[in-house]
Structure 1
Amino acid sequence: MCSKKLLPAAILIAISAVVQAEDRHHEGHAGHEDHSRHFAHHAHEPGEWMLSYRAMTMAMEGNRDGTSDVSDADVLVDFMVAPQNMDMTMHMIGAMVGVTHDISVMVMVPYLNISMDHIIRTTGEQFTTDASGIGDMKVIGKYLMVDTQDKQIFLSAGLSVPTGDTEVMDTTPMGEVRLPYPMRLGSGTYDLILATSAQYALDNGAWGVDGEAMIRTGSNNGYTLGDRYKLGGWYTRGLAPEWSVTGRLSGETWKDIEGADPAIAHMVAMVPSADPSLRGGRQINASLDLNFEPAGSEHEFSIELGTPVYQKLDGPQLATDWVASIGWRATIN
């Protein structure tokens, strides 16, 4: 089925969007213009809450090996079953609270719906597998290391808690089986999240850079997902007092799975998504985000559309076509 990594990749993209935009709120400064109002990150005052909701959809279609597209027929030369496409929807609920002026803590809980279509070599029969449920919960602390009117630098550290099901079952032409890695709702391990970001104000906008690493710890059912790393930059431009647009370019890399789940060892030669050595990859993503914050309101709304502009996969794996999301957040003093 699809890349075990592209599902977490999509999740990580959405988490990154929430982490970067979750705490966006505008603080006026008496006596001068607030050049920092377009910053993607803001520190919260002690006791100040930010609640958020984001719905994200990812579409994947067609397989890729390296940078080349691979047809179903090509995949079926080596495997009995070829994944054809996958749709994933994620609902992310988040809450952030200021502990001190410099420290904030965020908790995020995703709910996932995943569907993947396949074709069988011998009969041409097509079938679909589905999985849904709560994914891995994230708990992240953010420290404001540098804070001026025109510049802010943050350090973040957190933990991904294995609340997502890694033993998802569904009915296939082979009967009820445990689904391969891409259809699982979590990593099965406690994973360390480390991130840093820097942002700089402009007269009518802002720009910034950020990096993030997810380090896997331990193992689950005999395997460990590969570590992943991400580096990106963004630019925000004010369109009107209540509107802004953000463009973003980011690159990420993720490793193959270490070990293997013995419950699906018999499937390695049947479908590429069961092979832990075919899960790694690298890609560059571009996205555009439109934000609306009504005047005098503590609410903000956003819509984002993104797509990979480069993908190199340890395939065959399903390739990502596009990712879209809508979001809401509100500050509660």
Structure 2
Amino acid sequence: MHTFRKTLLASAGLVSQLSASLALAHADSPAYLPESHAPAGVMADHLHATGEWMFGYRYMREDQKGMRHGSDRVGAAELSAAGYTMMPTGMTMDMHMLDIMYAVSDDLTLMLMPQYMSMDMSMKATATAMDGTGDTGDGHGQHGMAGHDHGTSGLGDTIFGGLFRIADGQDYRLHSTLAVSVPTGSVKEKNADGSYVHYGMQLGSGTWDLLPSVTYNGGRDRLSWGAQLSARLPMESENEAGFAFGEKYGATTWGAYRVADWLSLSLRLRYSKEGDIDGHYNGAHNHGSPPDLQANYGGEFLDYGLGLNLAMQQGVAAGVRLGLEWTGKINANVNGYQLDRDDGLNLSLSYAF
């Protein structure tokens, strides 16, 4: 949490320095409206004009710590009583994404989004005793008793698709997105002993997934608002490792206010619901900790986001956009036993021409 807050404070300092050096346009009609783009954590939120390209970079970091069972916080004693020998104490996930868009027409924008993923988890032993063999005898390994850290990193899944205009009024816009997630990320990452890592630490889903969404944007004067409904729907019953992540549905809404020609501030709410994992690893894997089991994935989550959007108005950086958003948890009701969401950071940097 402190890292994210320091990042936002540093960004605020950068914004103040930029404001002193920029020659700003008239307050009511800047060349580039900072509030015309959604907060940094929302993807596929806008179309482009015919022939326009956009190149961007997105970064997302999520921090998890402490254990939860349903809506309750739990500790090592509860996990030990449930039969787990190991428990995760924290996890960080970093996603780096290229955001490439091209407008075939005013009503159709194509997008391509390759990703790079990195995940790190720390674990410690519970009080439950083990036989020390490291193997249950049925192809299911066990974690060692000592605490340890482990991680995975590499190319993630690749998203491609199109944004289609539905309606465009004086103060509002409505469009749909139909995209596909290509399973370019590995789902066969393994521990040093040859067993599969936790399901949630694989680099991709391993399945072809359909990613539909509908997005509404509105605005008047210095205010803007929007909402998006989205889903992630696996199109295969299992991947090459023998499992498939559950369906995921999301709804988010936001509002933003332009406080200066080049700066807007935003508030966002996000609800998501995700099913647990179907299938089962088809090779040796651990059963000693909660993230080793399929039933300990998914749930219902309600989060908020506080953000800022920055749009350069003049000079060589004119048209460059920077978005930052800090996210936090309002409520969570997880399936089984899971690490609790702490907070996160979304960043977007883009230029269209």
Task: Give the alignment's TM-score, normalised by structure 1.
Answer: 0.85
Q: Is the 8 A contact 1:34 1:149 kept in 2?
A: no
Q: Return the match for 2:203 from 185, 203, 212.
A: 185
Tell me the residue number matched to 2:151: 130
Moved more, 157-166 or 216-225: 216-225
* 1:134-184, Cα deviation, whole Å (9 max, x unpaired): 11111121011111231100111010000001011232xxx3422020110
Tell me the residue number matched to 1:52: 56
Q: Is the 8 A contact 2:32 2:319 kept in 1?
A: no
Q: Return the match for 2:169 from 145, 148, 159.
A: 148
Q: Return the match for 1:98 from 98, 103, 107.
A: 103
Structure 2 CA distance for aligned equivalents of residues 203 and 137 of structure 1: 37
* 1:235-263, Cα deviation, whole Å (9 max, x unpaired): 01001010001110010000011111132
Q: Is the 8 A contact 1:36 1:149 kept in 2?
A: no
Tell me the residue number matched to 1:254: 274
Structure 2 CA distance for aligned equivalents of residues 73 and 125 of structure 1: 17
Letter in 2 for 1:115: D
Structure 2 unaligned regions, length at least 5: 1-27, 38-44, 130-143
Q: Matches of residues 78-227 of structure 1 in structure 2 within 5 Å?
A: 78-121=83-126, 122=129, 125-171=146-192, 175-218=193-236, 219-220=238-239, 221-227=241-247
Q: Matches of residues 223-242 of structure 1 in structure 2 within 5 Å?
A: 223-242=243-262
Q: Is the 8 A contact 1:63 1:315 kept in 2?
A: no
Structure 1 CA distance for aligned equivalents of residues 223 and 123 of structure 2: 46
Tell me the residue number matched to 1:244: 264
Tell me the residue number matched to 2:11: none
Structure 1 residue 88: Cα displacement: 1.2
Structure 2 CA distance for aligned equivalents of residues 73 and 272 of structure 1: 14
Q: Is the 8 A contact 2:53 2:103 kept in 1?
A: yes
Structure 1 residue 205: Cα displacement: 1.4
Tell me the residue number matched to 1:9: none
Distance 1:89 1:259, change over 3 A: same
Q: Secondary structure of the equivalent of 1:73? A: helix
Tell me the residue number matched to 2:343: 322
* 1:100-134, Cα deviation, whole Å (9 max, x unpaired): 11000111111111100111234862111110001
Letter in 1 for 2:202: R
Structure 1 residue 322: Cα displacement: 0.4
Q: Secondary structure of the equivalent of 2:322? A: strand
Structure 1 residue 282: Cα displacement: 0.5
Structure 1 residue 204: Cα displacement: 1.0
Structure 1 residue 33: Cα displacement: 5.9
Structure 1 residue 323: Cα displacement: 0.6
Structure 1 CA distance for aligned equivalents of residues 188 and 120 of structure 2: 16
Structure 2 CA distance for aligned equivalents of residues 167 and 85 of structure 1: 22
Moved more, 290-299 or 247-256: 290-299
Tell me the residue number matched to 1:267: 286
Q: Is the 8 A contact 1:35 1:201 kept in 2?
A: no
- Alignment pair present for 1:39 and 2:36: yes
Structure 1 residue 73: Cα displacement: 2.7
Tell me the residue number matched to 1:281: 299
Structure 1 unaligned regions, length at least 5: 1-31
Letter in 2 for 1:205: L
* 1:251-285, Cα deviation, whole Å (9 max, x unpaired): 00000111111324x523x1111211221211001
Structure 1 residue 36: Cα displacement: 10
Letter in 1 for 2:283: A
Structure 1 residue 35: Cα displacement: 12
Tell me the residue number matched to 1:71: 75
Structure 1 CA distance for aligned equivalents of residues 47 and 108 of structure 2: 7
Greater share of strand: 1
Q: Secondary structure of the equivalent of 1:53? A: strand
Letter in 2 for 1:186: G
Letter in 1 for 2:332: Q
Q: Percent identical across equivalent pairs? A: 26
Letter in 2 for 1:254: E
Letter in 2 for 1:103: L
CA RMSD of aligned residues (A): 1.9
* 1:2-22, Cα deviation, whole Å (9 max, x unpaired): xxxxxxxxxxxxxxxxxxxxx
Structure 2 CA distance for aligned equivalents of residues 142 and 312 of structure 1: 32
Q: Is the 8 A contact 2:32 2:312 kept in 1?
A: no
Tell me the residue number matched to 1:61: 65
